[in-house]
């Protein structure tokens, strides 16, 4: 299903669009992010990267273009203002920025994919800078923000409780189920029973209420003694209760297919022990699925990133996604979707030194030593040095058989990815079989004239088809008659060479010395340069894909 515009779908008013999922944003240009996709999972999307990689900004771009009349448990509107997330400068943000908001919607009782442009540009009033304008879809009637509750929380920037005046807030009334939910939340995340009873408080300074907190009641400590982690969790749980109420309202209106809302949590790990981080993540994942709320969380926690990337079934089902924003290999920022833990660690810690990186190798799994030598001849020394060839994974067997490599490609894709491996099949493998493999790190050794021969047979037939006066024979220092004699001696038919048994070709090939094989092989590759250059470029492309997935610099095209 392809994305369509509101015009294509016959939508008149953005305000009436029923959103079932936020799929993400396509950033055309925003500061130093160009032509990148930020994809959301159905439940929790984790975003990470080093400082200054615009993580909060990207979250704000996703969270902003919505309006709502819905409020939280304290009566505050559930809308994310762009100014809550980042500031736009009248001096440096002078370019017109553009991105597309990608949504799954319910239209005419069917699910459709909708993509609408969002433009951000500096506005002027009386010739002077006024403020930046954010325009969704355009400036016509019916354009503008979509309707959806959206909440943005930055845990690190929440005003410290110790620097505020705290007073009881008796305006919030929780149901019995909500009270049980809040108690269970603190118990599951912190593994503490102190919040089995609790109270709500206003935290204020100079008369202005900055936030509402939750403190234990009838416990061995109170609101004045709670940790910053407990304080932050109080903010989160009140937002969760707010969205649970919205979910019940939505169900009562018969709108159960609609997305309840979006919650964005910046600095997710702030003041939380690693185990509490994971407990909170798991709690939110389950809660998100139950109440149909999407979450985006921003973290630098390697512990949490590692644990999340281990949740392979949830990632494959798109319940979880990880987006890594980096400038590792480009002047502009790139967004890596579901990277490996190795790549995340390398980017966050800069742990590997350049010398180690330069000797990083991709494992090349192929059928035998004949294939290894041929591949090296095709790709050249520079690329071959960045490869570790393995033609015999089992010491008890001679080479890696086609069925064995096929099974690896089909059933061990995760193992191949973790080991930075690529499979290269011989030229006689049926290409249709390879096309059915759901693994993008497979290559087949090319053959000339679409012969689909193994290389021993390919080389013999290449020689046999040459005329007696071909320059090849002078270059290798051997006449065609001499070659014909050696073919016949090893059982290869001169009349119908293609029908000769493969064992005869292997026997002939094994009778040659290494120097002779190199000369014949070199001439075959030179005379069919275009075919083998295409293979070399595809090999480099797949090798760079593996390097990129694991956080290593890519090799320049050669």
Q: What is the mean pLDDT of each run of 10 residues along the chain (558 residues)?
A: 92 95 97 95 94 89 94 90 80 91 94 95 80 90 95 65 50 84 89 75 52 67 62 87 95 93 90 86 97 95 86 94 87 88 71 53 91 94 89 71 82 75 88 64 88 91 93 93 93 88 93 93 94 94 82 69
Instruction: Say yes or no: 15 and 148 in one domain.
Output: yes
Where would I find the beta strands (DSSP E) of 71-189? Answer: 97-107, 110-125, 128-136, 146-147, 150-154, 165-168
Pair 403, 536 in one domain: yes
Whether residue 483 is contained in a domain is answered as yes
Count of the separate structural domains present in the chain: 3
Range of the domain at 335: 3-157+256-267+293-349
How far apart are alpha carbons 443 and 233 in whole angstroms? 50
Measured between alpha carbons, how far is residue 41 from residues 73, 78, 244 in Å? 27, 21, 20
512 and 425 share one domain: no
pTM over 0.85: no
Q: Can you give the CATH number for the domain in which 420 is found? A: 3.40.50
Q: Within this chain, do residues 323 and 384 fall inside the same structural domain, yes or no?
A: no
Size of the chain in residues: 558
Q: Judge if 333 and 414 occupy the same domain.
A: no
Residues 409, 513 within the same domain: no
The confidence score (pLDDT) of residue 163 equals 43
Residue 277 included in any domain: no
CA 243 – CA 524 distance, rounded (Å) = 68
How many whole angstroms separate alpha carbon 378 and alpha carbon 373?
9
**Same-domain check for residues 418 and 506:** no
Distance, in Å, from the CA atom of 371 to the CA atom of 486, rounded to the nearest integer, reads 22
Do 504 and 518 reside in the same domain of the chain?
yes
Question: End of a domain among 324, 349, 374?
Answer: 349
Whether 340 and 405 map to the same domain: the answer is no
């Amino acid at each position: 299903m392809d994305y369509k515009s509101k015009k294509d779908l016959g939508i008149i008013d953005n305000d009436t669009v029923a959103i079932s999922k936020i799929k993400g944003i396509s950033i055309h240009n925003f500061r130093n992010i160009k032509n990148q996709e930020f994809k959301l999972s159905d439940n929790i999307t984790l975003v990470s990267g080093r400082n200054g990689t615009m993580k909060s900004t990207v979250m704000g771009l996703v969270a902003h273009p919505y309006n709502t009349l819905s409020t939280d448990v304290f009566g505050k509107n559930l809308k994310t203002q762009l100014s809550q997330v980042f500031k736009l400068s009248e001096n440096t943000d002078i370019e017109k920025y553009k991105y597309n908001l990608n949504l799954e919607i319910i239209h005419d009782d069917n699910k459709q994919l909708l993509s609408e442009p969002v433009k951000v540009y500096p506005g002027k009033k009386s010739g002077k800078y006024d403020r930046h304008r954010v325009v969704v879809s355009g400036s016509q009637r019916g354009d503008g923000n979509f309707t959806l509750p959206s909440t943005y929380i930055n845990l690190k920037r929440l005003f410290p409780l110790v620097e505020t005046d705290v007073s009881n807030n008796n305006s919030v009334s929780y149901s019995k189920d909500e009270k049980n939910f809040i108690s269970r939340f603190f118990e599951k995340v912190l593994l503490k029973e102190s919040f089995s009873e609790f109270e709500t408080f206003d935290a204020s300074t100079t008369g202005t209420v900055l936030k509402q907190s939750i403190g234990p009641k009838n416990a061995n400590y109170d609101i004045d003694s709670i940790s910053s982690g407990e304080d932050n969790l109080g903010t989160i749980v009140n937002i969760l209760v707010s969205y649970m109420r919205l979910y019940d309202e939505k169900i009562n209106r018969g709108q159960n297919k609609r997305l309840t809302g979006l919650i964005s949590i910046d600095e997710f790990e702030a003041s939380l022990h690693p185990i509490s981080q994971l407990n909170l993540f798991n709690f939110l994942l389950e809660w998100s699925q139950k109440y149909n709320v999407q979450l985006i969380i921003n973290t630098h926690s390697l512990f949490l990133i590692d644990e999340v990337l281990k949740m392979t079934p949830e990632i494959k089902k798109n319940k979880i996604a990880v987006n890594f924003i980096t400038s590792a290999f480009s002047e502009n920022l790139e967004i890596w979707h579901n990277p490996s833990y190795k790549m995340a660690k390398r980017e966050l810690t800069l742990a590997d030194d350049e010398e180690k990186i330069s000797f990083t190798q991709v494992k090349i799994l192929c059928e035998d030593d004949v294939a290894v030598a041929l591949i090296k001849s095709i790709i050249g020394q520079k690329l071959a040095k960045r490869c570790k060839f393995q033609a015999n994974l089992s010491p008890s067997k001679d080479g890696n058989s086609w069925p064995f490599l096929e099974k690896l490609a089909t059933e061990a894709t995760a193992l191949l990815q973790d080991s930075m491996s690529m499979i290269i099949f011989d030229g006689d493998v049926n290409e249709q079989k390879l096309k059915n493999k759901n693994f993008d790190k497979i290559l087949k050794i090319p053959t000339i004239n679409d012969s689909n021969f193994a290389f021993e047979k390919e080389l013999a037939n290449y020689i046999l088809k040459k005329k007696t006066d071909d320059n090849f024979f002078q270059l290798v220092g051997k006449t065609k008659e001499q070659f014909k004699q050696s073919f016949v001696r090893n059982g290869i038919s001169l009349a119908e060479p293609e029908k000769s048994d493969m064992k005869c070709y292997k026997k002939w090939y094994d009778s040659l010395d290494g120097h002779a094989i190199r000369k014949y092989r070199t001439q075959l590759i030179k005379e069919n340069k275009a075919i083998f250059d295409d293979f070399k470029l595809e090999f480099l492309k797949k090798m760079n894909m593996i390097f990129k997935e694991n956080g290593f610099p890519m090799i320049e095209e050669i």
